[in-house]
Structure 1
Amino acid sequence: MSVVLSSQLLKLGSTFVSYNIATSILLPPISSNLQEYWLAGNGVFLRGARNGIHVCAHLCALNIPGLPKLEPYFNFTFPCVPPHLLSTMLELSVAAGQEEVLFYLAFTEGIWQLLIPDQIATEYSVTPTNPLDPFYESAIIEVHSHHQMEAEFSFTDDKEESGKFRLFAVLGEIFTSSTISVRVGIYNHFQVLPASKVFQLPPGITDANRFVL
């Protein structure tokens, strides 16, 4: 078990944040509803957990002699989203033309459910008209389209997706060679993931980050 040399617990609004120094590669179980920063021999890490998602993200690389090195991880306890749902989102995105489309995915009653919320869409952005939609609260994944643009998260995406702990995906180049980019957001930090960690990709959609480990 890890021995924590220094730990401080602060309350920031409704979010608890702890700051820790690792003295072992075996960290203690993550605390409920806790955002944990860990200083290790190879840098600063962020751990977080919510229903279905357990993640340890490597925020920055450092070389600190005497401390153990940690390994990042992403554990997704739900089954991957089936390919037909991703195909449906692609078809609806193509039908919307030059406007972006927003989708929510929630896992309820043992299956993935897809919802298109009421939204305000333009060529460069899409936002829900009711951010307090009950389905939004249960959503595990948010997906939006970027029509002919690449599947890359924009500055606007970063701003709109900050403050949330969930998975995000963007569909790009949907009229030609469709791609998808996936990341996990831990409040104000993001970690890019292989799409195969979250989705079963159908034919015609490739992972924009297929070389990410």
Structure 2
Amino acid sequence: MNLVGYVIAVTPNLPPITAQLYEYVFAANGVLIRAKRSGIEVMWVIGKCEIRGLANIEPICIWYGERVPRSFLDRMLGEAQNTENEILWYLWQENDWVISKPEQMASPSSVAPTYESLVNTDYEKALIEVHSHADMAPTFSEQDNADEQGFRIYAILGWVNSRPTISVRIGLAGYFCSIPAYMIFEDFDKHPIKDIHEYKY
């Protein structure tokens, strides 16, 4: 089994994923990346172009299982509102959802776990990684892009004391795709935290 696979979309019906990490799909509408892990299956366009003679392939984001409980968002927002520093959390699902705040080095503009090795840590278990930006905008920085190289959901809580807002995206091997927060978080439409996509710039 290869770490990375390559698929030519001759028809819209793609074969099952066989690569261990991810696959590139060459289609009429461009180059897509796709992968599947426990809890999520994704595919989206990473390079738009026309490749004549191939099938058009639609992006997908399939979330398996339950969404993250509202109480987890409440907890993260409360903790973020009580410090000027950034905070990092990991979330994953066993029988129920689990949230972890690892030992970390934090400042008002950065946060990182203090693990000497990532092996057998909460980082490895995490399906979702969230960090706060205190009262700065919940936008992903170049440093975030460089750090977030795994296959998981990444989110940022920002403007936590003025207008709490979250940005959510899928990350896969350094490629990113924004998604709406309601796909991941339970009862999001009833929560005081807003989705960054609700604001127009």
Normalised to the residue count of structure 2, the TM-score between the two structures is 0.91
Matched, 1:80 2:67: yes
Question: How far apart in 1 are the matches of 2:175 and 2:87?
Answer: 24
Aligned to 1:195: 181
* Shift in Å, 1:210: 4.8
Question: How far apart in 1 are the matches of 2:134 and 2:185?
Answer: 20
* Shift in Å, 1:203: 2.2
* Shift in Å, 1:78: 2.4
Conserved 8 A contact 2:135-2:160: yes
Out of 106, 117, 121, the residue aligned to residue 106 of structure 2 is: 121
Matched, 1:51 2:38: yes
What secondary structure is seen at the aligned counterpart in 2 of 1:209?
helix
Conserved 8 A contact 1:47-1:56: yes
Question: How far apart in 2 are the matches of 1:160 and 1:207?
Answer: 23
Aligned to 2:86: 100
Question: How far apart in 1 are the matches of 2:54 and 2:198?
Answer: 32
Question: How far apart in 1 are the matches of 2:172 and 2:109?
Answer: 24
Matched, 1:174 2:160: yes
Question: How far apart in 1 are the matches of 2:40 and 2:20?
Answer: 12
What secondary structure is seen at the aligned counterpart in 1 of 2:151?
strand
RMSD: 1.6
Matched, 1:30 2:17: yes
Amino acid at match of 2:107: T
TM-aligned CA distance change 1:210 to 1:47, over 3 Å: farther
Aligned to 2:195: 207
Aligned to 2:171: 185
Conserved 8 A contact 2:4-2:20: no
Structure 2 unmatched ranges of 5 or more: none
The structure with the largest strand share of the pair is 1
Amino acid at match of 1:148: D
Aligned to 1:5: none
Conserved 8 A contact 1:195-1:210: no
Conserved 8 A contact 1:32-1:49: no
Structure 1 unmatched ranges of 5 or more: 1-8
Among all aligned residue pairs of Structure 1 and Structure 2, give the percentage whose two residues are the same amino acid.
Answer: 38
**After the TM superposition, which parts of structure 1 deviate over 6 Å for at least 4 consecutive aligned residues?**
none
Amino acid at match of 2:197: N
Normalised to the residue count of structure 1, the TM-score between the two structures is 0.86
TM-aligned CA distance change 1:71 to 1:210, over 3 Å: farther
* Shift in Å, 1:142: 0.6
Question: How far apart in 2 are the matches of 1:143 and 1:70?
Answer: 30
Conserved 8 A contact 1:193-1:209: no
